[in-house]
Amino acid sequence: MSFGAPEATALLADSFAPWVQELGLRVERVEPNGVVLRLPFDARLCRIGGTVSGQALMAAADTAMVLAISVANGGFRPMTTVGQSMSFQKPIAGTDVLLDARIQRLGRTMAFGEVHCRLAGDGALAAHATSTYALL
Largest CA distance in the chain: 46
Interatomic CA distance for residues 100 and 36, integer angstroms = 4
Number of structural domains found in the chain: 1
Q: What is the pLDDT of residues 101-128, one digit of tens each?
A: 999 999 999 999 999 999 999 999 999 9
Question: Kind of pairing, strands 125-135 and 110-119?
Answer: antiparallel
Question: Residue 93's pLDDT is what?
Answer: 97
Domain housing 21: 5-135
Closest CA to 25 of 63, 76, 54, 53: 63
Q: Taking residues 50-75, what's their average pLDDT?
A: 97
- Residue by residue, DSSP assigns 50-79 as SPBPHHHHHHHHHHHHHHHHHHHHTS---E
Question: Residue 2's pLDDT is what?
Answer: 84
Residues 60/37, Cβ–Cβ less than 8 Å: yes
What does pTM read for this prediction?
0.97
- CATH assignment at residue 97: 3.10.129.10
Q: Taking residues 40-53, what's their average pLDDT?
A: 97
Question: Residue 50's pLDDT is what?
Answer: 96
